[in-house]
Amino acid sequence: MMKIGFVRHGVTRWNKEGRAQGSSDIPLDEEGLEQARSLAERMEIGDWDVVYTSNLLRAKQTAEVLAEKLGTKLHLDPRLRERSGGLIEGTTEAERVQKWGPDWRELDVGFETHESIITRGLSFMEDISSRHHDQSVLIVSHGAFIKRLLNELMPDSGMDESLKNTSLTCLNHNGDGWDCDVYNWTEHLVADDSLKL
């Protein structure tokens, strides 16, 4: 049976400032690196066979910490990049309202389409399903990308909660589709070491 773990990257300065990141290549800040280290400490060695990551720096830095701790090979794949935010990248909500008005979401600001995101996401899933059909695969990516892909893979799941930085979501392939047994898990961000994944 194939197991997939989705990890959202650690926190960045732009996350804290409320700036849209999209495809902008923003690094983790020190807290983001510490979040990645905390998650790595909570994951049992050997549970994951391989790690794939977006090639954007914030995801790659998170994945490097995990892959090193887990002793697994790391693969970069640009299909795992965040949704491109077009003209809004680098801006806060207040800046967007000032520039384009309160109805800015109704304008064409160059967002990557939902169809484009899902096409590259499903292409990636098909590839890893054929390569790793009986393995555990850890995927480090971005909040909007992961959430859209999860809802495509499990359309009736109701997974609408925003994913937290370094959260873990785990899916198991049941033969006909996917089951989710862990969603938006962040217990590694608290000081309790009693639970290992």
Q: Is 90 annotated as a binding residue?
A: no
Choose, from 9, 89, 112, 188, the residue flagged as catalytic. 9
Choose, from 44, 64, 68, 82, the residue flagged as catalytic. 82
Q: Is 14 annotated as a binding residue?
A: yes
Q: Is 188 annotated as a binding residue?
A: no
Q: Pick from 53, 14, 52, 10: which is nearest to 32 by CA?
A: 10
As given in the structure block, the two tokens for residue 73 are: 């090979």
Q: Is 13 annotated as a binding residue?
A: yes
Pairing of strands 178-185, 50-53: unpaired
Please state the φ and ψ torsions of residue 8, each to the nearest 5 degrees: -80, 140
Classify the C-alpha dihedral 82-87-91-95 as positive or negative.
Answer: negative
Q: Is 83 annotated as a binding residue?
A: no
Q: Is 12 annotated as a binding residue?
A: yes
Q: Is 10 annotated as a binding residue?
A: yes
Please state the φ and ψ torsions of residue 159, each to the nearest 5 degrees: -85, 80
Is 142 one of the annotated active-site residues of the chain? no
Is 9 one of the annotated active-site residues of the chain? yes
Residue list for the binding site for substrate:
8-15, 58
Residue list for the binding site:
8-15, 58
- Name the residues annotated as catalytic: 9, 82
